[in-house]
Structure 1
Amino acid sequence: MAPLVDLIHSETLESWKARNEAALAELFGRRYPKKAKDSVALRAPEMKGNDTNVPYAAYIHPSNADSGAYGGMSFVTFPVEDGPCLVGLVIGTQGLAPDESILGRPGHARKLNAIAKWLNHEFGSGSQVAWAKQDPTRVDIDVPESLRQGWSSYSRVFGRYGRVLYALYKPSSDRQATTSAVAALLDLMFEERGHSPLKEFEAESDGIQSAWFSQLMPKTDENQVVDLLNHRRFVVLQGPPGTGKTRMARRILEGRYAGFGRSIQFHPGTTYENFIGGLAPVHGVEDGGAGLGFRFAPKPGFLIEAAAQAAEKDAPYLLHIDEINRADLGKILGEAIYLFESKQESRREIDLPYDFGAPFHGRLHLPENLHVLGTMNSSDRSIAILDVAVRRRFAFLSLWPSLAVVEEHGCKTMSDAFKDLLSIFVEHAPDEALALVPGHSYFLDKDEAQARVSLRTSLAPLLDEYLAQGYVSGFAESIRGYMQWLESL
């Protein structure tokens, strides 16, 4: 990799083609197997930069002609006179072929967006050093204007190739950062062509992949949730089924809040009267009278009760609402939505429809020590979607499946099953379906025999439901193939 990094930082076009040939040759038998050489061809024309010519060096698909426009995916470096080369992945101006199946796969764009996020986070120091297009196949979409302005040294590159650039890294003086960025991009490109790094580079490659994959499915722990509750007060923990959202919420309630709070669960029948308060039948004896009949009296709901309990002490109080999106939260909150503002210049209050007794009577406010944590299953499509007004008042965190949990608590069959299914979703699921990937709790059996039974009786029915509801229609055959493997266990 060193000759290629040296070339990127050389700031000269001298012997451009020869130096690129030498740098490419160094990759094979060093980082990648020699047979990987057959999956790329070098295009590095000798030219001087001017208003019409933009120098470049590209690793293109070998099916392209030796000259003229080329098509498909390519790794490209664009040299400039006053700085390091711009590095990235580009679609040839001839079109997507012969790589249309790679470029159109959701996983290709998803991985590159994760790589860009990782590079910005790891090496950006507050500035943008990487960018990736949401959909590489959209060659009608140009590089964003903000990038053109911020990366003005490469303006001629953008002017000529802006519509076909789809993943970019702008090197700084940090050569180690360039090495990491180039390795991430090249490893992905060669992986798409069926070639992995040689054994001596597996650990390094896996480390880079794990680093950017953490941006694809970031880890969320209890500390993050509690910190956000302390800062924003109203939080929703969302994620696929089986990731432990409810379990984490209960641990936080029992541990961090010392049990000062309560858990409730929403369902389609939950109403304003259940959550805020309303009239409820009261037997005459219960009301202190001698009558045998019923009458209706104001009865506080979960929120008023929680607010009253929170007001009794200074310690933080947690109201955990499980399955918060299984009911229409906008209707349930009613006018009380006004109270859900984490940072208030003055205390917010609303008039209640009835006098609910002490401590609020007919006027409700939420004590500052009242925190609300909702948990939400992102796979349930039959339930209400939180509207914009509600979403604005809650902070959202996602809880994703964890391979580390499966490897610690599951057996080899479970680990293999999890990796294979996760790979299918990452590679083929559109963004709205990625949130359906089953969580790690489906893969935690340590006994091999029990693991096979659990996969067939717990995981397979969930995937069957996904297929029946059309949730995974875009990659149904991949899911069916996976289920056939489950049946063979």
Structure 2
Amino acid sequence: MNYWIVSGDIKKWKSEFAMTDPSFQTWIDWKEPINYSCYTKSKKPKLKGNVKNLAVGDVVLIYAKGRKVVIGEGEITSIANNQNSIAPGDYVTITPRVVFNAPIKIEDIIGNRSVTPFQNGFGEIHKTEYKNYKRAMALSGAKVVSNFNKSNLYDSVYLPKVTIDKILNLLNRKKNIILQGPPGVGKTYLAKKIIEYLTDKNNFTFVQFHQSYSYEDFIMGYKPTESGGFELQEGKFYVACNEAKKLQKIEGKNIAPYVFVIDEINRGNISKVFGELLMLIENNYRETSITLANQKEFYVPNNLYLIGLMNTADRSLAMIDYALRRRFSFVTIPSVFEGIETSDFGNWDTYDKGDDKQKKFAQFLKAEQLDEDYAKNLIKEIISLNNTIKEELGEGFVIGHSYFCNLEEDNLPVSKNRLVEVIEFEIAPLLEEYWFDNLERANELKDNLLNALK
């Protein structure tokens, strides 16, 4: 990942957004992607500086020229298909990540360095300068305003748009969904991105179930105090429902959802944890009050959304409670490797022009710096391994793509040594667990992965 800075003109931005987002009047209104032409607008158009060096996923700071401040931060989400032959009509698309109520002075980021390089193109921001930017943001107390839209959601996860739309539609209709899948497909990451899309960063609660998790932890119960007595304490879900109610109605309008995420939802004793509230989470019974054991009236508000996360490879657990299953929609999250053919290995470089699955796979290889031949050979072997796992164990046990995420250092291709570490210390132990009664088979599959790197 590289860091860039580009000059923004508020008048030109207003013109750009006149049709697509007429609400844009000031910098703080930036919430939709902005297109930057790759060429200067002149009688003899010239390619803007550094356009050929840009990549999807790079971070771009927006410099408000007239005010000499940085007003926000975006991410490059698309660029010309062929950067070696960029045409005057090609664009770079920058999608907002954060916008500041209190902008950052440019000198606090680049010091006395000239601003000329990024007034007619994309100027490079060195890592130390990007750290200055982060430090200045913290010291100034600048409030970060999230502007995470559906385009951000599409671009930030390795899932086809149709799958993301299905998840959002189910969540809107059912109120309760469970994201299930094998280890490493990004279930937790997806839940976090859904939160960013749906609501403010403060309007969510994240809990993890375990075998000792109880109704007292979740709803309400008496807990021991330091003085040796007991007092009634509100549980996580009870508090979350009350927070959601505060957001629920202002002038009679729903203004914000509240998201409650339960990791490892199948590890808890569902009947014990939910108690009488199991009925109230149903979308048909939202806003219906009941009297709790402590004689308090309670209901689950309409604007509270439940997202459960479940690992399908955990064989130590019994089937999920049927009463809970009826009240949730279940969505299986596939690996980015799903649907990618090893026989098509030679054509992977053209996948960025293929179907939605192929484009996501191409985005994965490029964004995670896995486009070197040795890394591609390993990914090819992982896909073959997953086919073997499906045949011998089932689809719920395949290897997910997150094992290969965030491995790069200093924006360089992922090294062979780092990939060997992933195989030896992350994937191999999982294979040994899968084939616990046939370690020879597990070692054979591990060796196939290691040999792919040679």
**Please, what TM-score do these two structures have when normalized by structure 1?**
0.47
d(CA) in 2 for partners of 1:338 and 1:414?
Answer: 49
- Which residue in 1 is equivalent to 2:290? 350
Cα contact 2:381–2:449 (8 A) shared by 1: no
Cα contact 2:244–2:301 (8 A) shared by 1: yes
Deviation at 1:384, TM superposition (A): 4.2
Deviation string 1:69-105 (CA, Å, 9 cap, x unpaired) is xxxxxxxxxxxxxxxxxxxxxxxxxxxxxxxxxxxxx
Deviation at 1:348, TM superposition (A): 2.8
Deviation string 1:450-476 (CA, Å, 9 cap, x unpaired) is 2122222211111112112x5xx7xx8
RMSD: 2.6
1:347–1:367 distance in 2 versus 1, CA, 3 Å:
closer
1:407 aligns with 2:348: no
Cα contact 2:198–2:257 (8 A) shared by 1: no
1:230 aligns with 2:172: yes
User: What SS class does the counterpart of residue 311 from structure 1 fall into?
Assistant: helix
Deviation string 1:209-263 (CA, Å, 9 cap, x unpaired) is xxxxxxxx98875443332211110010011111111111112223321221111
d(CA) in 1 for partners of 2:440 and 2:394?
Answer: 15
Consecutive unaligned residues in structure 1, runs of 5 or more: 1-216, 284-292, 356-361
The amino acid across from 1:420 in the alignment is E
1:415–1:224 distance in 2 versus 1, CA, 3 Å:
farther
Task: Decide which of 428, 434, 446 is 1:483's aligned counterpart.
Answer: 446
User: What SS class does the counterpart of residue 302 from structure 2 fall into?
Assistant: coil
Task: Decide which of 314, 322, 328 is 1:388's aligned counterpart.
Answer: 322
Cα contact 2:390–2:398 (8 A) shared by 1: no
User: What SS class does the counterpart of residue 319 from structure 2 fall into?
Assistant: coil
d(CA) in 2 for partners of 1:383 and 1:220?
Answer: 31
Task: Decide which of 226, 241, 252 is 2:194's aligned counterpart.
Answer: 252
Deviation at 1:299, TM superposition (A): 1.1
Deviation at 1:368, TM superposition (A): 0.6
**What number of residue pairs does the alignment pair up?**
252
Cα contact 1:456–1:486 (8 A) shared by 2: no
User: What SS class does the counterpart of residue 429 from structure 1 fall into?
Assistant: helix
- Which residue in 2 is equivalent to 1:118? none
- Which residue in 2 is equivalent to 1:30? none
d(CA) in 2 for partners of 1:317 and 1:310?
Answer: 5
Deviation string 1:426-455 (CA, Å, 9 cap, x unpaired) is 356359622111100123442233212222
Task: Decide which of 302, 325, 337 is 1:368's aligned counterpart.
Answer: 302
User: What SS class does the counterpart of residue 438 from structure 1 fall into?
Assistant: coil
Cα contact 1:460–1:486 (8 A) shared by 2: no
d(CA) in 2 for partners of 1:395 and 1:483?
Answer: 36
The amino acid across from 1:407 in the alignment is L
Structure showing greater Rg: 1
1:397 aligns with 2:365: no
- Which residue in 2 is equivalent to 1:313? 247
Cα contact 1:413–1:451 (8 A) shared by 2: no
- Which residue in 1 is equivalent to 2:312? 378
Deviation string 1:314-346 (CA, Å, 9 cap, x unpaired) is 2111001111112122321122111121134x8
User: What SS class does the counterpart of residue 237 from structure 1 fall into?
Assistant: strand
1:220–1:246 distance in 2 versus 1, CA, 3 Å:
farther
Task: Decide which of 294, 302, 317 is 2:228's aligned counterpart.
Answer: 294
Cα contact 1:253–1:318 (8 A) shared by 2: yes
- Which residue in 2 is equivalent to 1:452? 420
1:461 aligns with 2:429: yes
Consecutive unaligned residues in structure 2, runs of 5 or more: 1-158, 249-255, 338-360, 408-413
d(CA) in 2 for partners of 1:234 and 1:478?
Answer: 40
Bigger shift: residues 476-485 or 459-468 = 476-485
d(CA) in 2 for partners of 1:266 and 1:220?
Answer: 30
Task: Decide which of 271, 280, 290 is 2:214's aligned counterpart.
Answer: 271
- Which residue in 2 is equivalent to 1:262? 205
Task: Decide which of 310, 318, 333 is 2:274's aligned counterpart.
Answer: 333
Deviation at 1:415, TM superposition (A): 3.4
d(CA) in 1 for partners of 2:386 and 2:444?
Answer: 13
- Which residue in 1 is equivalent to 2:387? 426
d(CA) in 2 for partners of 1:254 and 1:219?
Answer: 17
The amino acid across from 1:278 in the alignment is G
User: What SS class does the counterpart of residue 229 from structure 1 fall into?
Assistant: helix
Cα contact 2:435–2:441 (8 A) shared by 1: no
1:422–1:330 distance in 2 versus 1, CA, 3 Å:
farther
d(CA) in 2 for partners of 1:463 and 1:354?
Answer: 49
Deviation string 1:161-184 (CA, Å, 9 cap, x unpaired) is xxxxxxxxxxxxxxxxxxxxxxxx
User: What SS class does the counterpart of residue 420 from structure 1 fall into?
Assistant: helix
